[in-house]
């Protein structure tokens, strides 16, 4: 399991700059719209101080952090859902991601052209959200057109599901046609399950990423407007300076980056904060496996039981799960070794019903 986020926004808001910085992979960036055509994909490690502390005590041969996949999707424009700009091919890319990072320009710079010729984050967000809503509307309408065959199905489960879905689709069609995001339609968990296979873009978790200049790192008038929208939409929001992050990413060594952060009075990069916030936004949690061979961080969903966590490593682990030997990483930090953890009775044996906690260190026993 891994976190997969799509970076969207209008042209020239800083998406590719942020993508390049966070992945340290060069994405094409230029001062004109539609520079990014095919989506760039980058893999970035999730910064986790617990992993570092575990490796200092276990001293493995290999360290493997949790990762996030970022997809830099070309700038959308007004009318994208109808084929404007480079068309709705990019909306298809967005459907494949778990969450959306919506980059919003919150800085002034006359040397960087804005596609609309002015800086207005509220209007920018509305343009993108409307295009996403219209794209979802098209998806919903297609389902409504084709649902008749499911209503007539001889399979009662199929026909019953179709009957329950019809009023929900009509509700979504009405809202989306008015520009109301599916996430704001007040759907229950059961209703979301009914339309899960539609992969509606506007049902995905969203984080508004305010791209600011150095003077706006701690907020500005534009950021405040975005925060109001995020509060209304139940979305996350974060401010980062894309250019500053790009400068940090360009430094050749880890020590140079640490020194830069110290001089700037920062304890971590804005992009580390972005990745970790996105990771938590989806309710993901981390557990660790630790030994002399490797220390590794594994990604699970909040609420996953021990067998499900084991299955992230290999399906055989889940299928043949017997038990898990568990302690929390805080026990290791306190007692300094697994031997001391055992001596102090902190090592537990847990069964199939154990809900894995964030920060657990686990050893699985299985038989297949």
DSSP bridge partners of 209: 103, 238
Structure confidence at residue 27 (pLDDT): 40
Mention every residue, 6+ apart, whose C-beta is less than 8 A from residue 358.
Answer: 285, 286, 287, 302
321/260: higher pLDDT: 321
* 124 located within any domain: yes
* 289 located within any domain: no
Structure confidence at residue 94 (pLDDT): 78
Structure confidence at residue 79 (pLDDT): 58
Q: Can you give the CATH number for the domain in which 315 is found?
A: 3.10.20.30
| Same domain as 271, residue 332 | no
Structure confidence at residue 32 (pLDDT): 36
Q: What's the structural domain count of the chain?
A: 2
| Same domain as 308, residue 265 | no
Neighbour-count burial for 41-77, b at 16+ CB within 10 Å, e otherwise: ebebbbbbebbeebbeebebeeeebbbbbbbbbbbbb
The Cα–Cα gap between 125 and 229 comes to: 9
The Cα–Cα gap between 208 and 237 comes to: 5
Residue 366: exposure state from Cβ atoms within 10 A (0-12, 13-18, ≥19): middle
Structural domain span for residue 321: 303-366
* 295 located within any domain: no
Query: pLDDT tens across 168-186, in order?
Result: 999 999 999 999 999 999 9
Structure confidence at residue 113 (pLDDT): 66
The Cα–Cα gap between 313 and 126 comes to: 41
Query: pLDDT tens across 197-215, in order?
Result: 999 999 999 999 999 998 8
* 27 located within any domain: yes
Residue 339: how many other CB atoms lie within 10 Å: 10
The Cα–Cα gap between 209 and 18 comes to: 10
| Same domain as 347, residue 205 | no
Quote the percentage of the chain above a pLDDT of 70.
88
The whole-number average pLDDT for the span 267-274 is 86
| Same domain as 327, residue 274 | no
């Amino acid at each position: 399991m891994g976190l997969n986020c799509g970076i969207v926004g209008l042209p020239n808001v800083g998406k590719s700059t942020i993508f390049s910085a966070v992945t340290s992979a060069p994405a094409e960036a230029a001062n004109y719209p539609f520079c990014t055509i095919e989506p760039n994909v980058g893999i970035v490690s999730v910064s986790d101080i617990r992993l570092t502390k575990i490796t200092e005590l276990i001293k493995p041969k290999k360290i493997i952090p949790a990762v996030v996949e970022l997809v830099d999707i070309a700038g959308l424009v007004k009318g994208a859902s109808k084929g404007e700009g480079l068309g709705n091919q990019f909306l298809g890319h967005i459907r494949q991601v778990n969450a959306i990072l919506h980059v919003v320009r919150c800085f002034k710079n006359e040397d960087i052209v804005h596609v609309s010729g002015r800086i207005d984050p509220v209007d920018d967000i509305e343009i993108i959200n409307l295009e996403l809503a219209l794209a979802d509307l098209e998806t919903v309408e297609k389902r409504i057109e084709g649902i008749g065959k499911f209503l007539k199905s001889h399979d009662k489960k199929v026909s019953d599901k179709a009957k329950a879905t019809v009023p929900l689709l009509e509700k979504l069609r009405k809202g989306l046609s008015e520009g109301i995001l599916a996430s704001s339609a007040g759907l229950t968990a059961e209703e979301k399950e009914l339309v899960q296979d539609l992969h509606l873009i506007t049902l995905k978790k969203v984080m508004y990423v305010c791209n600011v200049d150095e003077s706006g790192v701690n907020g500005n008038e534009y950021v405040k407007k975005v925060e109001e929208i995020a509060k209304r939409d139940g979305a996350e929001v974060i401010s980062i300076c894309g250019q500053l992050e790009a400068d940090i990413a360009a430094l050749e060594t880890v020590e140079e980056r640490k020194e830069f952060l110290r001089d700037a009075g920062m304890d971590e990069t804005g992009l580390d904060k972005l990745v970790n916030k996105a990771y938590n936004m989806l309710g993901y949690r981390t557990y660790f496996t630790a030994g002399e061979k490797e220390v590794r961080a594994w990604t699970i969903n909040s609420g996953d039981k021990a067998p499900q966590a084991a299955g992230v490593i290999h399906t055989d682990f889940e299928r043949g799960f017997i038990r898990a030997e568990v302690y929390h990483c805080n026990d290791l930090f306190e007692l300094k070794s697994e031997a001391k953890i055992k001596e102090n009775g902190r090592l537990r044996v847990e069964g199939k019903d154990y809900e894995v906690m964030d920060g657990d260190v686990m050893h699985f026993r299985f038989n297949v």
